[in-house]
Amino acid sequence: MEIIHTPFGIDDPYYIVQGYERSPREPLEGDCVKVKFVTDPMTVGQRAWIEVQAGDRIYKRRAQYQLNHGGKAHWEVDIDSESVGTKMKYRFIAGRGPSTYVTSKWYEYTVCKWIDARDILSLENETLTVNRDSRTGCEAVKEASILTDGTELFDLRITLERDENEQFYGLGEHFDAITIPDGQERFIHVYDQYKVQKDRGYAPVPFIFSSNGKALFVDTGYMTSVKLDRSEITLRVYTRGFPIEDTRIHLWKKETPLKAIEEIYSISKPCTPPLWALGPWLSANQWNSQKKVMGVLDETVKNNLPATALVIEAWADEQTFYIFNGAQYEPLPGERNFKLANFRFREPWPDPAEMIRKLHEKGIKLLLWQIPVMKCFDDSNPQPAIDIRYGSSKGYFVKKDDGSDYKIPPARWHEENVVVDFYNDEAAKWWASKREYLIKELGVDGFKTDGGEHLWGRETFTAAGSAAMTRNTYPEKYFQASASILNEDGALFSRAGYTRSPAYSLFWVGDEDSTWEALRDNITAGLNVSISGNPFWGWDIAGFSGEIPSAELYKRSIELAVFTPIFQLHSEDSGDPVPSSERTPWNISRAYNDKNIIDYYRRFASLRMTLSPYIYGESIRAAQTGRPLTLPLFLIEKENDPEELSYMFGREIVVSPAVDEEMKVRKLILPEGEWVNLWSGETYSGTVSIHGKRNEVYLRKGSIIPLSIPSDESLFGTNWSQEEKGQLHVGNEWPKDVDELKRSGKATRMARIIGKEQGIIKIEWRDIQ
């Protein structure tokens, strides 16, 4: 018989609990503690007890049987409340009688309580820290308390004053709203919530700022939370039973919200994407062979659909994640790295080098899917087992507290597999070196660095300490290792993340269905990460999961994606579903028997190419100045409703997204000056009432927009180039002084708006040199 008890479960903040946890997980003085455990298997006549040592006192108590689930008996028993500092030990005894009794290991905790912490908080240069030697107090906080067992200090809780009518924003990725709601504790915890995420995020950031310019950032790896009430802001740091350390709370009061955002950008230090990353991306889980990828390239070229990046997810052996599926080779010792010449490629990837060469000929970069996990489930080749044995012998994997290799818990993504410890510099170099041939010899241009949310439970440890302190920052180390082998113009594309992830990786908001609700949620999440230090985001256009999107949802999403930082199609279903669920324009066209969908996609993918020089320039400026590339418009004109999701795309474009199936009339207050509607050429200023379902886009009148130039010299002409060759002067008059434009040497031509043709603005070009 086995006795199963995990006192803290996997420390899930949303209390998705297992049936054998302790509650509360962190007992306080005066708490009656409820303990649940399981005996496996369930046998007739079974009984169970708990044996407790409370300081010097010892007692036993019968456990109450609850149910038989899956052949396992579930039990429940209470432990008496005790005073702070009491060291508690307990274990379980179960069986039919003395000859069959089984005893568990001992479990321990020390009873804690909250004490006043104001006199041990130290404030210097707008930064609040716990300082046990300080007795000066801190007037910056209204209340402060810290959890203690009488010896060590653990969780921190502080309360700040909130101004009347002060609204707060930030927290990185969350999908439910731009404005942080009152009355709900919001956890900042890297979390793999598959679809319908709402307040749960793969890439949260412990940063909030207010409409008054007040801002708060917790620089720590521990899980934190924020709760807003009518007059208070409550912040909590959860150390999971480990002494608090390496935690700094920055309290800023800035003149404007934009100045507060600049502070988090100065910390996140986002990397500017290479120019190619700003063109259209193609991706689908179904592409699990070279034949399929070549078919995608053929369709792209045949239909004249510009693209600059292609992602292959199902390319690897699904164990090492650095060897192409089907490749034959002689196994190498774990410390050695493969070269391209070591492989004899076979189906389904008979010639990756030729595949990549053909993609590059069309200007399409290639990214391969990655995961920070190693598996061994197939004995057909010993390399995965060799690598895992070697990595384990060198201490390259995340560990349990007993020194054994940690494995992802059951029922979590990639369960029962080891996780690379990127806090161990040698492990990070080893993992990255295995993939170096992909970049240096094959010419792969980047990685889709998926995952990163795998560190569960407080008995889990990295080289930098407990998972309690490193779970949130783990994606940053994973991306840093991945980026270390990229070429200068390479890129990562990631879903998880934390405060400093933007320094290494672009980001996608995932995962979501092909529904109108999901469209709104994705744009909400993208704007939330943008104002939290992560400017270069995209999403799976029109959703990646479930049945294919409606034609209207697809078209409207394509329009909107032109004016978000990353333009990426993707779909979830693997294998060869019939009908296919690819979100490629040719597949959507076939599904609805409508060739116009391909034409529609071509126009907007080409517009994206044409605007690439503008987007690239604004991306550089966003990274350098801390002004988000997608800046919610209410931060410029505060009378705008944040939940209308209107935003500036760079400095010269305003976007009013149409993210609902049945759009109500929406009000938009434009920034100061005159603005030209991209579709109609009409000029607007001040308040605009928008009717209809189209995403409205406005260009600042008088601005200069750098462009690539399609062969037909229209904004929507088919365009495979991102090179800056011209500039659009927004207005119908030529600028009076073009000397500065001439001196720049970049563009040789300038355009002006001369009217409207077939529902879109018409422009006229002239040489400026």
Catalytic machinery residues:
450, 453, 511
Q: Are 752 and 764 in contact (CB under 8 A)?
A: yes
Strand order in the sheet with 675-677: 630-632, 647-649, 653-656, 696-700, 675-677, 683-684
Cα(562)–Cα(650) distance, rounded to whole angstroms? 13
Residue 198: both structure tokens together: 């709402």
Residue 751, number of CB atoms within 10 A of its CB: 23
CA distance 83 to 111: 7
Coil vs helix vs strand at 568: strand
Quote the CA–CA distance of 482 and 473 in Å, as a whole number: 15
CA angle (496 as vertex; 493, 500 as ends), nearest 5: 85
DSSP 494-530: ES---TTGGGT-EEEE---BSSHHHHHHHHHHHHHHH
Residues 6+ apart with CB under 8 A from 221: 246, 469, 470, 471, 472, 473
CB 526 within 8 A of CB 491: no
- What would the 3-class secondary structure string for 417-461 be? CEEECCCCHHHHHHHHHCCHHHHHCCCCCEEEECCCCCCCCCCEE
- Could you check whether the bond before residue 204 is cis, i.e. omega within 30 degrees of 0? no
Phi/psi of residue 355, each to 5°? -60, -45
Quick one: DSSP state of residue 413?
T
d(CA 538, CA 741): 32
146 CA to centre of own chain: 31
Three-state SS across 294-354? HHHHHHHHHCCCCCCEEEECCCECCCCCCCECCCECCCCCCCCCCCHHHCECCCCCCCHHH
The CA radius of gyration of the chain, in Å to the nearest whole number, is 29
Q: How far is CA 699 from CA 231, 527, 650, 737, in A?
A: 40, 20, 10, 20
SS3 695: coil
Gap between the Cα atoms of 301 and 604, Å rounded: 16
Q: Report the amino acid identity of residue 143.
A: E
Q: Please choose, from the candidates 723, 714, 728, the residue with its C-alpha nearest in 3D space to the C-alpha of residue 760.
A: 714
CA distances to 332, 431, 433, 436, 576 from 336, rounded to whole Å, are 6, 11, 9, 12, 36
Residue 462: CB atoms within 10 Å: 25
β-pair partners for 23: 34
